[in-house]
Amino acid sequence: MYPFIHIGHLSIGTFGIMLWLAAVAACWVLHRNFRRWKLDADAISVVAVVTVAGILGAKLWHVFETPEMLFHHPADLLFDRAGFAWYGGLIIGILALLWQGRVYKIGGLRMLDLAAPSAAIGYGVGRLGCLISGDGDYGKPTHLPWGISFPNGLVPTTGMNGTCAEWGWPQSCRVQPTPIYELLVGLFIAYYLWRRGAPGKRRPLGQITGEYLIISGLARFLVEFIRVNPRILWGMTNAQLASLGSIVLGVIFVVWGRRHAASIAANTAAQAQTT
């Protein structure tokens, strides 16, 4: 693994490079979505704002996940180039998209629906940054032939203090490459939402967003069973608890969208009868 690329005295984090590629991929998908819906909106500006907001949200979520470390080592935690939590970025990113939906006069919910495939593919590509840098987002030790070792990662698997030693495995053990799993799932979700959100298949506002929150939340909930994150409540990790919240929020989006659409259809029919 290569956490940093060294060019002379300059060190460039590979996680940052992959984060940039994730933003580029998300921007391309969002641009294509704007074009097929014939909307006059700048995908580059939208993704730029969401990316910056998402990074800040992800960092803050990670910081407040470990309050004891924040209390004892605030500077180390706040300015560490590692340590970002997806759900913090998702929450702030949603708020940024709602705001930009109003700026471009598209509507907040519609902007969320348009951006859902972009979020899925951006998340998947971004996970490759976790893989290349070896930042600890891998899974448990495994005998599977596609298992990967991270001896030189930001959070190494080998050595006296490595993940393998903590689990009582040989120092040369391999772990589940969960970022690869999440990349594949992210690509599938993006493809599914892209097809669902086609112009010829009009869905209630919030439907695509709700489906994204449900499917991505379920995927994250399941992958946590093979990751090394600590269990904090009812045998679940922090990410699993957040995933349940994502699923519940997604159901709310879907139910509200369908009821709202049915209400509009009923009002339209009633007005047609009176005229």
- pLDDT, one tens digit per residue, over 247-263 is 999 999 999 999 887 77
Local structure of 23: helix, strand or coil = helix
pLDDT at 242 over 60: yes
pLDDT tier at 33 (50, 70, 90 boundaries)?
very high
In this prediction, residue 263 carries a pLDDT of 75
In this prediction, residue 61 carries a pLDDT of 64
**Residue 85 CB neighbours (<10 A):** 20
CB neighbour list of residue 11: distance below 8 Å, 6 or more residues apart: 4, 5
Find the domain containing 181 and state its range.
Answer: 4-139+176-199
Could you give the number of structural domains in the chain? Answer: 1
- Give whole-number Cα distances, 162 to 3, 61, 83, 154, 158, in Å: 16, 25, 17, 11, 5
Is 254 domain-assigned? no
Q: Alpha-carbon distance 41 to 19, whole Å?
A: 23
Q: What is the DSSP letter of 35?
A: H
In this prediction, residue 77 carries a pLDDT of 45
pLDDT tier at 271 (50, 70, 90 boundaries)?
low
CB neighbour list of residue 168: distance below 8 Å, 6 or more residues apart: none
Entry field: residues in the chain: 275
For the chain, the maximum distance between any two Cα atoms, rounded to a whole number of angstroms, is: 80
pLDDT at 147 over 80: yes
pLDDT at 175 over 60: yes
Q: Alpha-carbon distance 163 to 82, whole Å?
A: 17
pLDDT tier at 38 (50, 70, 90 boundaries)?
very high
List, for residues 121-142, the tens digit of each pLDDT value: 999 998 988 888 887 788 888 8
CB neighbour list of residue 108: distance below 8 Å, 6 or more residues apart: 97, 98, 99, 101, 102
Average pLDDT over residues 1-20: 77
Specify the pairing of strand 4-7 against strand 236-237.
unpaired
In this prediction, residue 119 carries a pLDDT of 93
In this prediction, residue 1 carries a pLDDT of 65
Place of tokens 């960092």: 59
Is 75 domain-assigned? yes
In this prediction, residue 78 carries a pLDDT of 45
Per DSSP, helices labelled H in 37-150 are 43-65, 67-72, 74-78, 86-103, 108-133
Is 64 domain-assigned? yes
Q: Alpha-carbon distance 206 to 113, whole Å?
A: 6
Cα angle vertex 157, ends 170, 3, to 5°?
150
**More confident position, 168 or 212:** 212
Is 241 domain-assigned? no
Q: Alpha-carbon distance 130 to 84, whole Å?
A: 10
pLDDT tier at 179 (50, 70, 90 boundaries)?
very high
Handedness of CA 89, 60, 24, 95 (dihedral sign): positive
Average pLDDT over residues 228-240: 85
Q: Write down the mean pLDDT value for the chain.
A: 83
